[in-house]
Structure formats: structure tokens, C-alpha cells
Amino acid sequence: MGIPAFRSRPGHCRVPAVTDWFDEHAPRHVRSLDVYQPGKPIEELERELGISGAIKVASNENPLGPSPVALQALPAALSQLHLYPDAGGFALRRAIGARLGLDITRIALGNGSNDLLYQLVLATCEPTDEVLTHQYAFLSYRLAAQVAGRPFVAAPTTPELACDIDALIAAITPRTRLVVLGTPNNPTGSVITKAGAAKVLAALPARALLVIDEAYAEYAAAWPEVDHVDGLALMKDDRRVLVLRTFSKIYGLAGIRIGFAAGDKAVLDVLGRVGRTFHVSSLAQTAAIAALEDNLHVAASAAHARRQLERMQVEIAGPGVKVYPSLANFLLIDYGRPSPPIYDALLRRGVIVRPMAAWGLPNAIRVSVCKDSELERVIETINDVLAS
Ligand SMILES: Cc1ncc(COP(=O)(O)O)c(C=O)c1O
């Protein structure tokens, strides 16, 4: 395999000094944090560029909108906003448990699934414990480790940028505490196979956990012919597996912030100790309980994403262009040349994509699915810019 796993060092990624105080007194691991660059709101970009009618395909949101069943449930919750939310999230955990066939002690709620990931690092890792993933994994895995000041390790991937199971296993050390794998992974869209996950578990030290981030699992379900691991099934057989799920993607509730972890009761118990009280709002809990019943929205969104990805995979083309296979609601496109000018040209034409330089992919952009009425324009604009 040859390429060693990346290991973070304090200060490996310097952020410009903010103040003298910051330089002198802020903890070293905080000074060296990578800064997450969120995409700008569409209105802000339109104002900056003096354009209108822009299409944002940059954040893997659901272009079909929020679950209509969730929207119907929200007004009734408004009259209760003077009350603190249910800190134990009992009704929602019961609803999730009933849906997944799990006792509620095996479910924990978070302010989005990212929140749970950060909690997990704090709750499980001693200062020298390592968080391991692969080189092109979701950026939050690295950030969660860095925020907690824990060593972060990224194993090399396959040439297709997917998780190389053997390289990942080779990067496991006695200090490995969390192995975090997204499936489908953001930004590559690649999945972990059933055999791959089993191999990782077989190599996992007894003290470590395998965290399977299934933010896009409901989209992957629309591809039954492709072998990919079912984290929840794996979790039922092995106490060391923890699954993260979110309502941000297929349920269309990214703005209300709600996700959950499913895992062993003892692991969730420690997770609960570092979480803040009342961090999952009552509106989020109400919306999620309702959304869980919205089979129609889930099915329509998954089918819509698959249809669009299949079309984009065929129609986005050009010399040197590579479109990676994806089972999520976005595609990674490599141009074989630096993507910033391509990103800028797309922006000026009102198509907002995600540049991938921060992921270490300077030649790539990520494009999310869009409304059907927008697809033609997105494909045409991308191809025009590629040809120019
Ligand atoms: C792989 C992956 N995991 C987790 C998340 C975070 O989701 P949430 O909104 O639940 O924090 C995202 C969001 O883009 C994601 O792509």
C-alpha cells in the first residue's frame, strides 16, 4: 500500500492569529483548528454577484423540501414554546425505537448527528486516544477530534477515493478508540460493503468503537442491488458498533437540527454525560416524530435522488472529467484541473456548487441533487463551463 496514514500534529494547520490574547493564551489545539467554511446563503451570493434565480446545489439538502407530515405537526407545538423541551426525548426515542425494533435505552438524540459525533469524542477518548477514518471522509470527523484535542488519523483511500479497508486496518493502533466511517460517505458518495465492515470489526481492538455514519442511508436504500453495510443490523450483533442518523437529509429537516445515535446502552450512557441539557428543541422533537411516519416523502426523495444521479452520471461529461459513483444525494466531479475557476464560472452563472479544496481535492466539486425543474440548467451550465 505504501502511503502512510496521515497523523495530525498540534499546529499542523495554522489559522491566522486573531488577537494577541488568542495567540498567547488559547490552548494550542484550539489555535491549530481547521476552520469550517460553510456555504453562503443563496440570497447573500445573489446580492454579492448581482444575479437572481441562482440554484444552490452545495449542501446536500433535500430539494423536495421538509417532510409535509412534519410541517403539519409543528403549529400545534408552537403554543408550548414557553416550556423546556423533554430533556430525555422520550416520545421521539420511543418512536425511533418502534421503527427500528430497538429499546429506547439504545437511542440517544442530538442537535443534528454532528453534535453526537462531537459528544462521542469527548465522552470516549482519553487525551492520547486516536480517532481514525480515511483521507476523503466527512470533514467533521477531523474537526470533532481536533476540537477535543484528540489525535486524528486518516488512512489512505483506494484510487477511487473510497475507504481502503486494508489500509484502514493497517492504521489501527493500540491507541485507536473511534473508527468513523460514513456510508455513503460525504463527499465521495462511496459505501462500505458488508464484508468490509465485518473485516474492520474483526480487526478492531476491544477498547475501540466502530461509528457508522448513515446520514444518507435512506438514499442508499434506493440502490438495493449495490452491496452496502446496514449499520443498524451490524449494531444489533456487536456492542462496539454505534450508528449515527440524521433528520437533516431525506426528511428535509436540516434547519431544525435533529439526529440520533443508536448503539449499546452503556456507550450511550457515557455519551449522555457530556451532552448539554435541553439541546434538542421541542420543535425538533415534534417534527422528527411526525417525519418518521412520512414514508411517502422518504420514498419520493430517494427515488428522485437516484433518478437525478443516474442522469447526471451520464450527462455530465468532458475531456478529463470523472464523475464518481454515489448512492447519496450528491455527486463528486473531478475535472482533472484546478476547480476554483470552474467554481467561480458556475457561480457567475448562478449555479452554486461546493468546491472540494478543503477536502484535499483541489480539482473537484460536489454537486447535490436539485428540483427537477432545475436539473436541465444545472447539467447544461456545468457542461458549458467545462467546455469553455
Ligand atoms: C456524512 C455526514 N454526516 C453527518 C452530517 C451532519 O448532519 P447533521 O445535520 O445531522 O448534523 C452530514 C451533513 O452534511 C454528512 O454529510
Tens digit of each residue's pLDDT (9 = 90 or more) over 130-152: 999 999 999 999 999 999 999 99
Q: Rounded to 5 degrees, what are φ and ψ at 333?
A: -120, 125
In a domain, 264, yes or no: yes
> Are 172 and 282 contained in the same domain?
yes
**C-alpha 379: how far from chain center:** 24
Question: How far is ligand 1, taken at its centre, from the CA of residue 384, in Å?
Answer: 31
114 lines ligand 1 (CB under 6 A): yes
C-beta separation of 69 from 291 below 8 A: yes
Q: What is the pLDDT of residue 7?
A: 75
Question: How far is ligand 1, taken at its centre, from the CA of residue 24, in Å?
Answer: 34
157 lines ligand 1 (CB under 6 A): no
Residue closest to 170 by CA, chosen among 187, 154, 194, 192:
154
Rounded Cα distance, 263 and 364, in Å: 35
Q: Could you say which DSSP state residue 327 is in?
A: S
Closest residue by CA, ligand 1 atom 3: 215
Q: Tell me the one-letter amino acid at 198.
A: A
182 CA closest ligand 1 atom index: 1
Closest residue by CA, ligand 1 atom 12: 215
Q: Which domain holds residue 208?
A: 68-294
Residues of the chain with pLDDT under 70: 1-2, 8-20
Q: Rounded to 5 degrees, what are φ and ψ at 334?
A: -105, 130
368 lines ligand 1 (CB under 6 A): no
> Are 151 and 55 contained in the same domain?
no
187 CA closest ligand 1 atom index: 16
Question: How far is ligand 1, taken at its centre, from the CA of residue 102, in Å?
Answer: 23
Count of the separate structural domains present in the chain: 2
In a domain, 7, yes or no: no
Q: What residue has cell string 494550542?
A: 28
C-beta separation of 124 from 270 below 8 A: yes
Question: How far is ligand 1, taken at its centre, from the CA of residue 288, in Å?
Answer: 16
C-beta separation of 212 from 244 below 8 A: yes
Of 294, 319, 352, the one marking the end of a domain is 294
Of 294, 321, 337, the one marking the end of a domain is 294
What's the CATH number where 316 sits? 3.90.1150.10
119 lines ligand 1 (CB under 6 A): no
> Are 165 and 252 contained in the same domain?
yes
> Are 289 and 304 contained in the same domain?
no
What's the CATH number where 115 sits? 3.40.640.10
Closest residue by CA, ligand 1 atom 13: 215
Q: What is the pLDDT of residue 238?
A: 95
Question: How far is ligand 1, taken at its centre, from the CA of residue 117, in Å?
Answer: 10
Closest residue by CA, ligand 1 atom 1: 186
Pocket perturbation via mutation, ligand 1, pick of 143, 211, 218, 246 by most ligand atoms within 8 A of CB: 246
Q: Rounded to 5 degrees, what are φ and ψ at 150?
A: -100, 145
> Are 51 and 93 contained in the same domain?
no
Dig out the grid coordinates for 191 from the structure.
459505501
CA distances from residue 213 to 86, 110, 180, 230, 313 in whole angstroms, order as listed: 25, 14, 7, 11, 24
Question: How far is ligand 1, taken at its centre, from the CA of residue 303, in Å?
Answer: 20
In a domain, 382, yes or no: yes
182 lines ligand 1 (CB under 6 A): yes
Q: Rounded to 5 degrees, what are φ and ψ at 257?
A: 65, 90
Beta-bridge mates of residue 107: 262
Q: Across the chain, which distance is largest between two alpha carbons, in Å? A: 61
In a domain, 30, yes or no: no
Please count the helices (runs of H) and the strands (runs of E) in the chain: 16, 14
113 lines ligand 1 (CB under 6 A): yes
Q: What is the pLDDT of residue 19?
A: 58
213 lines ligand 1 (CB under 6 A): yes
Whether omega for the bond prior to residue 156 falls within 30 degrees of 0, making it cis, is no
